[in-house]
Amino acid sequence: MFPPTRIRSCLPVINPMFRQKLRPHRPFRQTATVHGSQTKTVQRNKWMNFRSIITRWVPLGSAIYVGWCYIRASINYEVSKVEILFYEMFPFRVTSRIWGKLAACELPTSLRSFVYGTYIKMFNVNLNEAEFTDLKYYKSLSEFFTRPLKEGARYISPCHCVSPCDGVVLNCGPADTDKIEQVKGVTYSLEEFLGENKWNKRKDDNYYNSLLNNKDNVLHQCIIYLAPGDYHRFHSPCDWTATFRRHFSGKLLSVNPWLARLIPGLFAINERAVYVGEWKHGFFSMTAVGATNVGSIEIYNDPELRTNTKGKRNRISEIDLGQVQLKKGELFGQFNMGSTIILLFEAPKDFKFDMASGDKVLVGQALCEATKEQAR
């Protein structure tokens, strides 16, 4: 005879009924009858809860939107007002403050070479120009972004007006109307960009004319975009006197060149610090424009300036600087990440820029034809 243990081990094979009892338990699905038709309760989809929307749908939607923007820029697609409105609703000021705090965190010494080395490869950073080439010297990403240059890394041209920063020229040339081109075919308002003329005692119904000291002159502009891999400090482009500062607490939209082609008035929308004064030909202004992840604009001679602070976006603060003398090539300020510098200044009609849109420029490089300028 077989022992009882051997019989029990064979029972599931002998009798199929025992096999059914050993199957795992299936939960009972409740059914309800509504108007004679049965409806089954559907289990909650893992893609539809709040956590999934934040961690999956938002990054996926952002990636699709950025890709679509690149496609539109390549086919000269005209962005609609509705799309601009939705883009502006994104909380870039909040994300920029968060990014600023993360970038300012001190990194462990063991991770610095890897983190900064990855950044150098991604954005083609020329570390040989930096004053400190040892990556372990920089305690945080923010400190690495604003790295100083070694002595003699930039040559300051004898021309009267030089490039204030490293970057790519988005647009340059005469600005003879109140509507100024930010890129080819896309404009912004001069009055909205600079604000009310409070620094000039001369009154004129025409805003453009109120800026000019000499009616025979015209305004000229130069827009330079600083990419993430560029040197992030900017310098005084000429010998001039700053007398007035106006800070617009606007939005922090991206100022990438392809996006500047899509959004008219982008520079008059974004947060910016406008410095106004005079140079040898009359009116002169230098504006540092903020952008996404560039919530902090620091000006060395203006420690009271605070950018990307909490509060309403349409706040405007003004201050009389007195007579701040700035020399050509002198350090003026710095960005945390890349952004844009805009020069608007008065000069004779025959003033010619020695560059064109799309050209790469460096700090101290001549903006105009030096021979003609020095002859004046």
Q: What is the 3-state secondary structure (H, E, C) of 183-221?
A: ECCEEEEHHHHHCCCCCCCCCCCCHHHHHCCCCCCEEEE
Task: Spell out, as residue ranges, where the chain has pLDDT lower than 70.
Answer: 1-58, 68-81, 83, 184-185, 294-295, 338, 369-376
Instruction: Let me know if residue 351 belongs to a domain.
Output: yes
Instruction: Let me know if residue 80 belongs to a domain.
Output: no
Check residue 313 and report its DSSP letter: T
CA distance linking residue 346 with residue 352, whole number of Å: 12
Q: CA 308 → CA 35, 80, 92, 271, 301, distances in Å? A: 58, 27, 10, 8, 19
Q: How far out from the chain centre does Cα 157 lie?
A: 29
Q: How far out from the chain centre does Cα 9 lie?
A: 72
Instruction: Let me know if residue 326 belongs to a domain.
Output: yes
pLDDT of 74 reads 63
Buried b (16+ CB within 10 A) or exposed e, 247-258: bbbbbbbbbbbe
pLDDT of 370 reads 56
pLDDT of 56 reads 67
CA distance linking residue 343 with residue 180, whole number of Å: 12
Amino acid, res. 278: E
3-state secondary structure 47-68: CCCHHHHHHHHHHHHHHHHHHH
pTM, two decimals, is 0.75
Residue 24, both tokens: 């795992």
Residue 7, both tokens: 């019989």
pLDDT of 188 reads 84
pLDDT of 37 reads 46
Instruction: Let me know if residue 273 belongs to a domain.
Output: yes
Instruction: Let me know if residue 160 belongs to a domain.
Output: no
CA distance linking residue 365 with residue 362, whole number of Å: 6
Residues with a catalytic annotation lie at 166, 235, 339
Instruction: Let me know if residue 344 belongs to a domain.
Output: yes
Residue 22: phi and psi, rounded to 5, are -85, -10
Amino acid, res. 322: G
pLDDT of 246 reads 94
pLDDT of 40 reads 44
pLDDT of 25 reads 54
Residue 332, both tokens: 């003026």
Domain count, the chain: 1
Question: What is the residue whose two structure tokens read 């050209």?
Answer: 359
- Full DSSP string of 22-52: TSPPPPPPPEEEETTEEEEPPPPPTTSSHHH
Domain coverage including residue 186? 167-375
Which residues, listed in sequence order, are joined to residue 234 by a DSSP beta bridge?
A: 333
Q: Provide long-range contacts, Cβ within 8 A and 24+ apart, for 279-282.
A: 279/238, 279/239, 279/240, 279/241, 279/345, 280/160, 280/238, 280/239, 281/213, 281/214, 281/217, 281/345, 281/346, 281/347, 281/348, 281/351, 282/212, 282/213, 282/214, 282/217, 282/345, 282/346, 282/347
CA distance linking residue 119 with residue 114, whole number of Å: 9
Instruction: Let me know if residue 349 belongs to a domain.
Output: yes
